């Protein structure tokens, strides 16, 4: 039977090892940066109670909102289209979404091939993102004069 030889550290080596360990602990314990969020104005099937609202499950409702009166809302059958041409307010909701939810909404809305996500101004002056169509995409489609998809589909005046 042979005796195992234990390695011995000097007091200076112990202090150096402790400093190295402490340094690693400090760098890995940095606080996480908050994930960036985007405010998105929705006006159709993403509204609360509408058919695509389930896609907003990870989003935080900021509140109801209206655009500046520089838009028109069009009826495209199963969903509406917002065009930045006109003199109507459009009624909707603003949500705060994280990057994965924004990417999923981009896919759902066909950005940038169908809808284009752009910054718009609400009547409060706040800038938010929303999904818009180009005027040539709505030629011949009925205008939703009330500016409210929900009222239009439920047949109630606003």
Q: Catalytic positions, please?
A: 109
Give counts: helices (H), strands (E), the chain.
3, 7
Give CB contacts under 8 A, 24+ apart, made by 86-90: 86/143, 88/143, 88/145, 88/147, 89/123, 89/147, 90/43, 90/66, 90/147, 90/148
Report the SS3 class of residue 75. strand
State how far the Cα of 20 lies from the Cα of 24, in Å rounded to an integer: 6
CB burial of residue 108 (10 Å; 0-12, 13-18, 19+):
middle
């Amino acid at each position: 039977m042979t005796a195992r030889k234990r390695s011995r550290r000097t007091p200076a080596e112990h202090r150096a090892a402790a400093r190295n360990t402490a340094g690693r602990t400090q760098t890995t314990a940095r606080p996480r940066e908050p994930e960036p969020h985007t405010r998105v104005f929705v006006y159709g099937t993403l509204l609360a109670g509408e058919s695509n609202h389930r896609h907003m499950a990870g989003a935080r409702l900021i509140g109801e909102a209206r655009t500046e009166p520089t838009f028109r809302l069009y009826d495209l059958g199963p969903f509406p289209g917002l065009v930045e041409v006109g003199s109507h307010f459009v009624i909707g909701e603003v949500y705060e979404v994280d990057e994965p939810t924004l990417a999923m909404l981009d896919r759902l809305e066909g950005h940038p091939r169908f809808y284009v996500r752009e910054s718009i101004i609400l009547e409060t002056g706040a800038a938010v993102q929303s999904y818009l169509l180009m005027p040539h995409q709505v030629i011949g489609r009925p205008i939703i004069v009330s500016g409210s998809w929900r009222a239009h589909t439920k047949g109630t005046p606003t």
